[in-house]
Amino acid sequence: MARTRYASDRGLTSRMLVTMFLLGLVYVAFVTAFFVISPKLGVIGLAAALVFLFVQYFFSDKITTFAMHAREVSPTEAPELHGVIDRICAMSDAPKPRVAIADTDVPNAFATGRNQKNAVVCVTTGLLRRLDPVELEGVLAHEMAHVAHRDVAVMTIASFLGICAGLLTRIGLEFGLWGGFNNRRDSDNNMAVMVMAVVAVSAVAYAISFLLTRALSRYRELSADRAAALLTGRPSALASALTKVTGEIARIPTNDLRAAQPFNAFFFTPAFGKGFSVSQLFSTHPTLEKRLEQLNKISGELSRGV
């Protein structure tokens, strides 16, 4: 963890190391399987994966802000927002990230970037309209905790294998359905077997990556909540923001929520409507009840001077 005043979290650090180690093993098995299936396919897959990883890691901030239609804003353009971030930087002794605003009514925020020097903290116009300055400070302290803990970079790398595997699975299935299984000659049958092997390996890699990144994502949200609450000394403000944002998201049109859902793992709170239900095993965030319970416990500890 970088040297800031954010509370360290050894549990988060150990989970990030374990996740990266396990994903590394999956990645090695993933590439090895491709070489076994076809050496040429393995070389092409490895080269494409390395290029994709390079782009995702070094340009994640630009890719994410572009996809969210966000633009960086100067202190002159958004003085109140910059003022809140300046206060958090003063409290945390962390370098100031670039500041961006996404023009969407979905109330949310996210942090991106491979390190503190390249970090971007983005808020939506919907969030700015709904939160008061104290609540906004809690949310931004939460997002900057992700940067300080370096879990943004880890999540960017961890999601890489799942994205590659998912993409290869989809390409393989489409190829098999539309091109690989049309004829019954021996060569065509061999191609069909190869395609199905690629799909099977990719699907297994995707499933393992999916579960590992979801487990890490849920813990890192609790860690950021805790770090932000301790830094600001106002866990109740963060709890109020969580409750308000979760309630407001339920009123957002479904189409707007679907457009934002690909970024759920990086959001302050997931963009799901009121009627959505999902197994906790597959969720990117802990339940609202669990987050509020932790904040209430921290509030009690602070009041007792623990």
Nearest CA among 178, 133, 301 for reference residue 233: 301
Q: Cite the annotated binding site by residue number.
A: 142, 146, 221
Catalytic residue among 77, 143, 289, 301: 143
User: Which residues sit in the known binding site for Zn(2+)?
Assistant: 142, 146, 221
Give counts: helices (H), strands (E), the chain. 11, 4
Q: Cα–Cα distance between 127 and 146 in angstroms, integer? A: 19
Q: Are 173 and 35 in contact (CB under 8 A)?
A: no
Query: How buried is residue 216: exposed, middle or buried, by Cβ count under 10 Å (0-12/13-18/19+)?
Result: buried
Buried residues in 154-176 as b, exposed as e (16+ CB within 10 A): bbbbbbbbbebbbebbeebbebb
Q: List, in order, residues 6 or more apart from 238 with CB less than 8 Å away.
A: 135, 138, 139, 141, 142, 225, 228, 229, 232, 295
> Residue 248's CB: how many other CB atoms inside 10 A?
19
Per the annotation, the verdict on 289 as an active-site residue is no
98 forms beta bridges with 120
> Catalytic amino acids?
143
